[in-house]
Amino acid sequence: MPFFVQLAHHFLPETILAVGVMVLILIGAWRGERGFGLVDEMAVGILALALVAIALSSTPDTSVFDGAYIDDGFSRFMKALTLIGAIASILMSVDWLQRSGLEKFEYPVLIILSTLGMLLLISADNLIALYLGLELMSLALYVMAAFARDDGQSSEAGLKYFVLGALSSGMMLYGASLLYGFAGTVSFAGIAAVVSTSAPIGVIFGLVFVLAALAFKMSAAPFHMWTPDVYQGAPTPVTAFFASAAKMAAVAITARIVVTAFPGVKDQWRQIVVFISIASMLLGSFAAIGQENIKRLMAYSSIGHMGFALIGLAAGDEAGVRGVAIYLTIYLIMTLGTFAAILAMRVQGRYVENVSDLAGLSRTNGWMAFFLAMLMFSLAGIPPLAGFFAKYYVLLAAVDAGLFGLAVIGVLASAVAAYYYLRVVKVMYFDEPAPAFDRAPMAVRAVLAVSTLALLGFWVYPTPVMDAAAAAAKSLF
């Protein structure tokens, strides 16, 4: 297949982003600080264009660039989620950045670069491409975490994330080199062929290191330690991006690598996934109790949710991956909505981020309280909100796969986690009102309302998501 045909047919979204980001850099360099507004709007346009390209793409699953890259249903589904997350993050961030004096054109550029890395990661079909995508994504994220460079907390978050990210990259490379050493190939399909029945201990070593590095990216326990500090310290829109788009890519590549490269040693990697899943759920449930900072609370919440998503992966079959896809979709919506609400927490021009600042919100801003309450109910997994179905499908897959213990722990952990979600609702509806919030910008309110309505409406018309997730899962096997 000619190179340009490959580019045009199977690499179009990435191409759009790569070309677009270079244009944006030029515009930014030319117009300087004044270029923020234009760059920002163009960035949204570029991302939306990439999303349209994915939506219109209907080619059969194809491996391109000599097996380094794959364009299949699963990658398209995940890329769409990632792009939605990125678009929402940029939309919500504009007002915040302007009010915080951070309206620099590098911000949307970095988001697009990072998103490009994510798309590469999602479609990676060998270890080299995987590492390329991972680093492209991460390097941009490190910078974004420290984007408020005059803020000590933000700088600390960026530095911590970078140091620990470097450690995880080292693990990734070490694991990849072990895999290459034992398998003699970097291609996932090649590795799968070598370790089809039994695996030498070296391959398992390599797998453990690779999975540890990926778990770091998706902030799953016990590789989650950076998450609370970075989520709290980073600028809020950046945190929203971390919690939404970045997770999609990390979970997607994890699912892809274990399913396509290691089907022969399913029993082994399943044990690792189960371990990480349980550790994440328990930690996410327990540690969030007593958190006062809502961004930190959401950090632990995201850890717990990654644990839940991994339940589906632990099942290791098509139903399990479908559960993961559904879970990530709903998690993305919930996270974007919640961070929209957090971005709306502004009292007399000053952003606040404590749970107690939400006190009595039902009386000062009834709609926002209602939306946030629905989001919390959904995060807690209370029917008929979408969060319940997310948990339902992964648990169903786990039970069908015979992982009863994992399912039971998952249910118990979600019961514990319900405490801190419901506490937010309680604070909003039953406590004496705190000072009222300022009027939130249009984009934030739109994201909050749309995501909440999506969660409320999921049980009425879940078919599009269900079908797309099923198709995505099917392409992986």
Partner 1 sequence: MIYAIVFLPLVGFLIAGALGPWIGARASELVTTGLLMVCAVLSWIVFFDVALGHDHGYAPIVGNWMTVGALKIDWALRVDTLTAVMLVVVNTVSSLVHLYSIGYMHEDPDRPRFFAYLSLFTFAMLMLVTADNLVQMFFGWEGVGLASYLLIGFWYQKPSANAAAIKAFVVNRVGDFGFALGIFLVFQLTKSLGFEEVFAAVPGLAGKTIHVFGMDVDALTMAALLLFVGAMGKSAQFFLHTWLPDAMEGPTPVSALIHAATMVTAGVFMVARLSPIFEYAPTALEFVTIIGAVTAFFAATVGLVQNDIKRVIAYSTCSQLGYMFVAEGVGAYSLGIFHLFTHAFFKALLFLGAGSVIHAMHHEQDMRNMGGLRKDIPFTFAMMTIGTLALTGFPFTAGYFSKDGIIEAAFAAGEHRTTAMIGFVATVVAAGLTSYYSWRLVFMTFFGHRPAHSVAVNHSHDEPSTDDHAHGHDDHGHDDHGHHAPHESPLVMLIPLAVLAIGALGAGYVFEPDFAGHAYDEFWKGALFTGEHNEILHEMHAIPAWAGFAPTAMMVLGFLVSLYVYVLKPGTAQALARIFPRLYQFLLNKWYFDELYDFLFVRPAFAIGRLFWKGGDGAIIDGLGPDGVAARVADGARLAVRLQTGYVYHYAFAMLIGVAAVVTYFVAGGLR
- Exactly one of 36, 142, 226, 421 binds partner 1 (CB under 8 A); that residue is 226
What is the smallest separation between the CB atom of 288 and partner 1, expressed in angstroms?
8
Toward partner 1, which CB reaches closer, 32 or 170?
Answer: 170
Nearest approach in angstroms of CB 265 to partner 1 is: 10
Q: Name the residue with tokens 């993305």.
A: 332
Q: Does 229 bind partner 1 (CB under 8 A)?
A: yes
Position 271 contacts partner 1 (CB under 8 A): yes
Is residue 287 near partner 1 by the rule CB under 8 A? yes
Cβ 155 to partner 1, closest distance in Å?
13
Give the shortest CB-213-to-partner 1 separation in angstroms.
Answer: 9
- Nearest distance from C-beta of residue 215 to partner 1, angstroms: 8
Binding residue (CB under 8 A) for partner 1 from 64, 120, 212, 258? 212
228 forms part of the interface with partner 1 (CB under 8 A):
yes
152 binds partner 1 (CB under 8 A): no
Asked whether position 197 contacts partner 1 by CB under 8 A, the answer is no
Among 7, 48, 132, 167, binds partner 1 (CB under 8 A): 167
Residue among 419, 422, 423, 450 that touches partner 1 (CB under 8 A): 419
Q: Which is nearer to partner 1, 113 or 311 (CB)?
A: 311
Task: Point out which span in 105-113, 221-229, 353-361, 446-454 binds partner 1 (CB under 8 A).
Answer: 221-229
Is 158 near partner 1 (CB under 8 A)?
Answer: no
Please tell me whether residue 262 binds partner 1 under the rule CB under 8 A: no
Stretch that binds partner 1, among 266-274, 311-319, 349-357, 437-445 (CB under 8 A): 266-274
**Residue 201 interacts with partner 1 (CB under 8 A)?**
yes
Kindly state whether residue 264 participates in binding partner 1, applying the rule CB under 8 A. Answer: no
- The yes or no reply on residue 19 touching partner 1 (CB under 8 A) is no
CB of 282 to partner 1, least distance (A): 8
Identify the residue among 164, 352, 450, 466 touching partner 1 (CB under 8 A).
164
Residue 279 or 469: the one with the smaller Cβ distance to partner 1 is 279
Distance CA 38, CA 50 (A): 18
Integer-rounded Cα Rg, in Å, for the chain is 21
Residues in touch with partner 1 (CB under 8 A): 159-160, 163-164, 167-168, 171, 201, 204-205, 208-209, 212, 216, 221-223, 225-226, 228-229, 268, 271-272, 275, 282-283, 286-291, 416, 419
